[in-house]
Structure 1
Amino acid sequence: MPSQKRKVDADADGPAAASSKRAKKEPEEKRLARFKASCPKNISERVDRVMTQRFFMIERKREDGELREEFKVLGSTGNVYTVLIDNVPSCNCPDAMKGNHCKHILFIFLKVLSVPLHSHTYYQKALLSTELETIFANAREAPNALTNGRIKAAYAKVTGRDKEAKELEDKAAEAEKNKKRIPEEGDDCPICYEEIHGTDIKTLTFCEECGNGLHQECFRQWAMKTKPATCVFCRAEWKQASAAVAGSSTAGAVVGEDGYLNLASVAGLSPVRDTTSYYDGPRRGEAYHGSWGAGSYRRRSNYYY
């Protein structure tokens, strides 16, 4: 009898029990920072900076399928910062290095990746993989992925099919030649991501190949970055490049005392930070010293870079 009981017990740990174990759900991914139910005031203030100041996205890198993308952002004073969007969004600017959700991260979320203001994701310190999947899936296409003919040609070239690549390039160029595409409602400049619909045509420059346009000022910066200068949209060589970059000089690129590359003079920006619209009142944990009207707040700098 004891031997039968041992057999029954052994059967209880058999296929049925193993199947039950396999049926257990995979553990849910945990957010690497506390979830914020609403946008904090300090982040809302930085959103205001994004909406009122001008930024430039000058480079982006993402491997196919990866839930991370790296961006180079030209800040409001000309400094170039690196923003990384992944499970824990980050930037190497002074504001972010203090642990803040800086305006450069917000610029990428709101203007480059087109995350809507009603979303809860852009102000989170950490994101779930499912949230990143949604953000990247709904983001506008990168400028170099807008012309299918050019993509096919580029792929053919990197896979060693040079003859086919040349045929595709010629076909795409012929189809797009001499087409000036006037910006329509909802069209944005691919460099600064400001809407260009209704903008004075005289302030825009157009690609002779694909016909797409962008701000002359923005293209001047793009042309300084890429040698030879190419179209932001289709990557064709920009035939008006010499005129577009006239008067520009790489001598304007300097490394400041803070260690950041600064392109303020090249971009036509002031390297002096405009803080006139920044909030300068007390914050949580800051004490007021002195009488009203003559006192001061003991606080650290509230500048957002």
Structure 2
Amino acid sequence: MESVASSSSPPNHHHPQRPRTRFKPTQPFADRIVRALHHDLRLLHRRESTFFILGATGNVYTVALCATLSCTCPDRTTPCKHILFVFLRVLGLPLDDTCLRRRTLRPCQVSRLLGLPTLPESLAGVSVRQRFHQLFFNQGSSASSSRTRPRDVEIEEGRSCPVCLEEMGREERVVACGTCRNPIHEECLMKWKRSSGRRSAYCVICRQGGGISIGRWNKTST
């Protein structure tokens, strides 16, 4: 007669699978999703990982889909409604996609997102996009070329730098204030800004910031 132990089935060591918990968004996150889906937002231009968004109030915001998500809108919450707009209405992600809830993306996620096509219904009108390209790209390129075009700073012989008090040599790199036109060694200006913790290029002499124009200009003597 067989024993009970021999006839019994082996014990089951596998634990039952737990039911997958469904993501429950917080109310602020749900509100941002609603705004991203229903506000009058349109895509103006897409360039690699950068998306130019026309906001509901007419402002243009720049969304960057990279390792760290970013948007130029005033909302410091990530993801903001403009990032969610790109996810949901430009790229067509479903509401349960995990990328919607992330502040940072893995390289594989970035590659997957950037490989998705743009949904045509997310685009702004043709005339609006053409106007944006005229204002943003054409003027931007012409302004950039004018800023990088070398100019001459007229410096009197024996003129000293207001920071290091050394005479400015003929082959040295100098910059000049766009307001008072006083020249200064480029390296001295950078050191002065770093030591003073100044992010803006304020003039050492006249202290003007709004109208200052500082560039890499060659020295000439008069």
TM-score (norm 2): 0.46
